[in-house]
Chains A and B, each alone.
Chain A
Amino acid sequence: MAVVKEREEVLEVVGQRLPRVDGWAKVMGRAQYVDDLSLPGMLFGKLARSTQAHARIREVRVQRALELPGVVAVITGKDLPIRYGVFPVGQDETALAVDKVRYVGEPVAAVAAVDPYTAEEAARLIEVDYEPLPARMSLEEALAHPEPRIHDYGPFGNVHRQASLEFGDVERGFAEADYVREDLFYYEGSTHAPMEPHSALAWWDPGAKKLTLWTSHQGPHYLHKGLAKALQLEEHQVRVIVPAVGGGFGGKLDIFHHEVCAAKLSMLTGRPVKITLTREEVFYAHRGRHPELLRIRTGVTQDGRITAMHVEAYLDGGAYCSFGPATLLYAGTQQPVSYRIPHYRFQGVRVFTNKPPCGPKRGHGTPQVRCALEVHLDKLAEDLGLDPVELRLRNLTGPNEITVNWLEITSNGLRECIEKVVEASGWSRRRGRLPYGRGIGFAASAYLTGAGGSIYFSDMPHSEVHLRVDRTGVVTVYTLATEIGQGSATAIATIVAEVLGLKPQDISLVTSDTDLTPIDLGSYSSRVTLMVGNAAYDAACRVRDLLLEAVAERLQIPRHRLICRNRRIYDEENPEVGASFAQAASWAEAKFGCLATSGSYRPPEKLGTYKGSGVGPSPTYTFSACVAEVRCDPETGEVKVERVWVAHDIGRALNPILAEGQVEGSVHMAVGEALLEEQAFRKHLHRGPSLLDYKIPTVHEMPEVITLFVNTEDPRAPFSAKEVGQGPLLCVVPAILNAIADALKIRVDEVPVTPEKILKALEERRKGRPARVGPTKVPSFSFPAPERVARPPQWELEAKPA
């Protein structure tokens, strides 16, 4: 495990505002994305998709497509019958529907043709004979109608998974409360909408019997395994390469139909096959934010200390498993990371519906509950006559404690985050005092820095790095870690450069190639900086040891006096005595032979032993706080987010430019989720699978962002660098909602908060009714009795940990 470098004041590249290492290629238009690639003899593939939301397939007729001149191959579900899934417990997808379709847009056949025009036309000629079944388009409908089942697995009806956990004794906790409040909240589904549509290029080498797939993906390792299974190949017969990726946000993490189909078509035709999705198809590929209905009940003492909390989450999972089991559990995990909750119950259910599958999107599973919780706490504070910030401050977790649900917090800068945004925004003098129509709102949040458990069980490292140095001074880092725009390449290069006294651009990176690079589990759960960073740090330290030893011997300087800096290795006491980095490398190569080191990282063992305890643990957590300022038009219901202050406990920013970029990007996505975006359906159809109808914010909707980093020391993170890609999104959505409440004295307990809903809430008030729009009931559903989990020892010793 990495430790903070001893002499921090000498950090040379860590913390500097340096350009990202992949920036130059990108500004020149030279970064190559999958659809930019082509191979000799390449064919173009296209998927034919279901026009039914739920139906049995009687027959798929491909003859007319096959007869179209230029069509080389057509495949259907019969050609790819093996079920796969990213989760071991969720092997429920096939690349092409076999006996049933479960959403409009689900692929039923695939064609390969000599040009894209022919492929597109051929897909139109596929005819499917369906026997329609009733479609369930909401979680209420899916629960109300257990038959016919969408899947033939899951506990019953259309229930996919359930969770029911209790830490401590919630009823006792509520009995100890002076006041209990319950709220309902609905969080609409949303999708990632990366600017680059998914694309995959497959080439099957019939001689070597080896498949190579270039794909726009953020988790090539899981894809590698999934492809092998779906195609019935040995894993070593599959090579996945990820070139530049035009954005992911969780939307390129699953095993996708077009990837399996491109591979199969290449195997059948012996020619490279490329399939690039249209924008509409990206909406059907989805795997985005689960629509979620939430009920939160919290008990507090008179002075605002939480005594108990009960969270119920109803997740609309769409038609397949995807990452659903994790999404469901994540909904329960993070509340106790930000606030001390002595007795805590989480119950959740994920339901199948006839819509594109939901999955992981930035903040995976946690933004919905976080939003509901932070809005709920605001109302609770109001009931108690407390400043909303003060209520949070009275319940914060601290550093080095174990939460009631057995998550281990190391560094924790939440209090400082809150103090910073409160100070910078002028909260105390402005809250509740702005003219009608203007308001500010607050929220706080917590997120993990890398999932502590892998998706499939294993005792192997989560991240591995090879590092080689040769006599020319070239340093090459090999890792499967995938740059999707989040800056992982720069983060890794920065860490290695810091250790070796080089600059980030001196580091050559070979990434995301399952044949060349050692395993990394993928760009998800904000894990790369910490996990690959630690592995890279270890590998770099090992090679530095070799270099130092060689230089010490050649120059007869005690090893402990040597330092690596400014592309040299030299005597700290006589800086002119030393060697260039390349000279040092050649001495080391002469002494030790070929210079190659490795580093591995595996997260700490989880503390919890209960069923479901694998989701939630992380080597360390980040904390964020936000104040949002809005201007609302009470006549039109329009909301403009004018300014957002975000403070984030990042540990230390490896590169502040990139870190700020993650915060600003999170704010963009949060504004979209709070006010604009809905992956919504009418009848059985997506309301508008296009960038015209799906409303991602334009530059006009983007507020001013004031980013404030809080530094904490964390021995588990390389140079204390914690995540920043996801955490800062979480608090922004509820802060906006709380600001709207401050501005208009209404509550819209449902995102997106549209002008329509605001006018409705205002009208409710005019009619003398509660000024609220939002859910009023939960579906009738009985959760299983909770599994009672004993609390960590210190929770039992004292009412609240010190």
Chain B
Amino acid sequence: MDQPVRLRVNGHEYRLLVPVHRTLLEVLREDLGLVGTKHGCELGECGVCTVLVDGRPMLSCLLLAVDAEGHEVTTIEGLSPVGELHPLQRAFAEIGALQCGYCTPAMILTAKALLEEVPAPTEEQIRDALSGVFCRCTGYLKIIEAVQAASRQLSAGAAASELR
């Protein structure tokens, strides 16, 4: 049963005809070419397919594409304007919060949602928020450090813009 659907992804509207049993993950990767969203189990266990739906982290492997209609989807490709890096992206790269890079998009998006909600999270809050995404390389510690660094940078930026 194919269904017409309008998806808003990274600020763009896509008009598609998709079978209802197609997941958002499959549509992002295979129909829209947004392969920055990864997959590691397709069963909602590993977390590496996380995208933001209306700013909240969700598993794209368990979300029907047709159910994403009417929501704003953000993938790693849409996290920051072209030519710029989000402070989280910069911190991950500079602090070494990634190795193979496969969980990195999910980690960064999950951390983004956390920092929107809790701008200065404690380590425990960071651990809680990230506990849905597996990383097999880093041992998570540098990821936690990078989220803390980005949080500091974002609040410094916010303070600076308030001064202006």
Contacts and interface: CB of A to CB of B under 8 A. Distances in A.
A and B touch in the complex (CB under 8 A): yes
17 contacts: A22-B101, A23-B93, A29-B77, A36-B35, A195-B136, A246-B38, A247-B99, A247-B100, A279-B46, A484-B100, A665-B99, A665-B138, A691-B45, A691-B46, A692-B45, A698-B134, A704-B141
A498 B42 CA distance: 43
A29 B38 CA distance: 9
B143 to A, nearest CB: 8
Given A196-B102, A657-B95, 14 more contacts: A19-B94, A27-B93, A27-B101, A28-B36, A29-B37, A35-B39, A195-B136, A249-B136, A279-B41, A661-B99, A665-B99, A691-B41, A699-B135, A702-B141
B40 A699 contact: no
Contacts of A30: 36
B139 interface: yes
Given A30-B36, A195-B103, A661-B96, A668 B139 contact: yes
A26 B88 CA distance: 12
A28 B102 CA distance: 11
B144 interface: yes
Contacts of B76: 28-29
Contact of B40 (A26, A197, A666): A197
Interface in B103-157: 103-105, 108, 127, 130-131, 134-144
Contacts of A691: 40-41, 43, 45-46, 134
Given A195-B135, A691-B41, A705-B139, A485 B99 contact: yes
B96 A29 contact: no
Nearest to B36: A29
Interface of A is mostly: loop
B93 A24 contact: yes
A31 B101 CA distance: 8
Interface of A: 19-20, 22-33, 35-36, 192-197, 244-249, 278-279, 484-487, 657-658, 660-661, 664-669, 690-692, 696, 698-700, 702, 704-705
Which among A28, A33, A668, A698 has the highest number of chain B CB atoms within 10 Å? A28
Given A19-B94, A485-B100, A657-B96, A700 B131 contact: yes
Given A661-B138, A702-B141, A28 B85 contact: yes
Interface of B: 29, 35-43, 45-46, 48, 75-77, 85, 88-90, 92-96, 98-105, 108, 127, 130-131, 134-144
A717 B78 CA distance: 43
B100 A29 contact: no
Report, nearest first, the 3 A-B pairs whose CB atoms are least far apart.
Answer: A29-B36, A485-B100, A26-B101
B77 to A, nearest CB: 6
B40 A195 contact: yes
A486 B99 contact: yes
A246 B100 CA distance: 5
In this complex, which of B76, B98, B136, B143 has the most chain A Cβ atoms within 10 angstroms of its Cβ?
A: B136
B98 A23 contact: yes
A194 B29 CA distance: 20
A120 to B, nearest CB: 11
A632 to B, nearest CB: 21
A244 B75 CA distance: 19
Contacts of A700: 127, 131
Chain B CB within 10 Å, residue with most, of A35, A197, A278, A486: A197
Nearest to B94: A19
B43 A196 contact: no
